[in-house]
Amino acid sequence: MEKGKVLLVITPGRKSRKKNCVFHILVAETGEHLASHFSTDPVFAYGDLYLTRENRIKEWKERFGDFEVKYIDETDLKEEELRERNKKWADSLPKKVVKEI
């Protein structure tokens, strides 16, 4: 990843055999949950969560500047590590707003 770019991670990974399940997109560094979507197959999750969502792309560009979206299995991150970051992020939210994966 280029220096200065924010990495957004889709989980479960592209190589996952999970079908008909919820996929999530999170900020890799902080674990912040950005969106979830029920997808029938991992290959569709990229489009469902990001590529076909013009409003999200615009919002995230304004918020993060340069960013890239990858499946977790295309990064050096482990699911457990990202889950722990997400838990810390969720614990920092006001309790009525919590969205933890």
- 71 in Cβ contact with 46 (< 8 Å): yes
Residues contacting residue 35 through CB under 8 Å, at least 6 positions apart: 24, 25, 49, 53, 56
In a domain, 58, yes or no: yes
Number of domains present in the structure of the chain:
1
C-alpha–C-alpha distance, residues 24 and 8, integer Å: 10
Q: Which domain holds residue 35?
A: 6-97
Banded pLDDT at 100 (limits 50, 70, 90): low
Tell me: pLDDT of 97 over 80. no
Residue 1: inside a domain: no
With respect to residue 87, please indicate whether it lies within any of the assigned structural domains: yes
* Residue 2 in this model has a pLDDT that exceeds 70: no
pLDDT digits (tens, 9 = 90+) for 33-88: 999 999 988 889 999 999 999 999 999 999 999 999 999 999 999 999 999 999 99
Asked if the structure places residue 19 within a domain, the reply is yes
